[in-house]
Amino acid sequence: MPPPIVVAKNLVKKFTNLTAVDRIDFQIEEGESFGFLGPNGAGKTSTMKMIYCFSAVTEGELSVMGCDVKKEALTIKRQLGVVPQEDSLDPDLTVIENLVIYANYFNIPKKEARHRAEELLEFLQLEEKKNEKIPKLSGGMKRRLVIARALMNRPRLLVLDEPTTGLDPQARLLIWNKLRNLKKNGVSMILTTHYMEEAARLCDRLVIMDHGKILAQGSPLGLIEKYVGKEVYEVRGVREVLTSLKESYRKRDFDVECFGDTLYLFVRDGMSSMEELFRELKDFDFHHRMASLEDVFLKVSGRELRE
């Protein structure tokens, strides 16, 4: 079995009086797709920036592809592809020029750079736009071009910071499909995302962070089974009635939460409780569904709005 592609031990990132990453440990395997989830300000992007050597480690140890980020940043960067939150494309250049000129950073010969650019534009369905200037592209096209740019050096590890934020469902599905194809071809991936469906579809394992710490980690399915169970009943009504209902179910050892006008009833044994609960809740406005990664995220990090 190959060694892990990323190893972090007691990792810390501080900005003056703010501790953005607070002594976390994690390990990412070669060929794995690994996710960082968390509310705004949880420390996800700060962790990612240390991985791709954009931000210095304050304390602890961090190795990427067997190299110490403190001592071998250039070696790491040669083998990395980075998709930042911002598009950062050159608006004065055409689509293909953005790729070919970027290849100069990796000393890729111009002929080879042109060949790789053509291949990547075809892979990401942008070949018909190769001579267009950047302002004429849609948001989804720009995002695909940023991914193509990150692949110009044929990286071992692809780092994606919210790769599909703001895109329509069609563009998001296309990018998911392309990222899965890359993984099948041996590219390791690390991503942050606010889309729980994206994390569930793309990640083999993930961590949920808040206030710079890791609160939970595991596979999407494993986390759902551990923290939530199989099914969720959302019961809507008057706060006082829901509070009474919450206490009633809690005494029966059900896992329940109440937020606003909704009570969340988490069921671990699935179908065996369905008939009983449907009968008990028939006079309420309720919705029954399968448990999801979003339930885990909200249960672990809380339901209050973060600014």
Domain CATH number, residue 203: 3.40.50.300
User: C-alpha distances in angstroms, 125 versus 141, 158, 165, 229, 246?
Assistant: 9, 19, 19, 40, 51
Mean pLDDT, rounded, for 214-242: 93
Q: Considering its fold, how many domains does the chain have in total?
A: 2
**Hey, what are 275's tokens?**
């008939």
pLDDT in the model for residue 280: 87
Of 205, 187, 185, 157, which is closest to residue 53 (Cα–Cα)?
Answer: 157
Residue 305 belongs to a domain: no
Q: Are residues 174 and 88 in the same domain?
A: yes
Distance CA 222, CA 231 (A): 14
pLDDT in the model for residue 277: 83
The answer to whether the beta carbons of residues 29 and 6 sit under 8 Å apart is no
Distance CA 124, CA 178 (A): 7
DSSP 194: S
pLDDT in the model for residue 272: 53
Mean pLDDT, the chain, as a whole number?
A: 93
pLDDT in the model for residue 165: 87
Residue 165 belongs to a domain: yes
**Can you tell me which residue has the tokens 């606010």?**
194
- How remote is the C-alpha of 137 from its chain's centroid? 25
Can you give the residue range of the structural domain that contains 241? Answer: 229-291
**pLDDT of 197 higher than 60:** yes
What pLDDT digit, counting tens, does each position of 99-142 carry? Answer: 999 999 999 999 999 999 999 999 999 999 999 999 999 999 99
Q: Are residues 256 and 204 in the same domain?
A: no
Mean pLDDT, rounded, for 42-52: 95
In the chain, what percentage of residues exceed pLDDT 70?
Answer: 98
The answer to whether the beta carbons of residues 264 and 257 sit under 8 Å apart is yes
Q: Is residue 29 classed exposed, middle or buried when 0-12, 13-18 and 19+ CB atoms within 10 A define those classes?
A: middle
Q: Report the predicted TM-score, pTM, of the whole model to 2 decimal places.
A: 0.92
In the chain, what percentage of residues exceed pLDDT 90?
Answer: 80
> Phi then psi for 254, rounded to 5 degrees?
-80, 150
pLDDT in the model for residue 271: 56
pLDDT confidence bin for 283, thresholds 50/70/90: confident
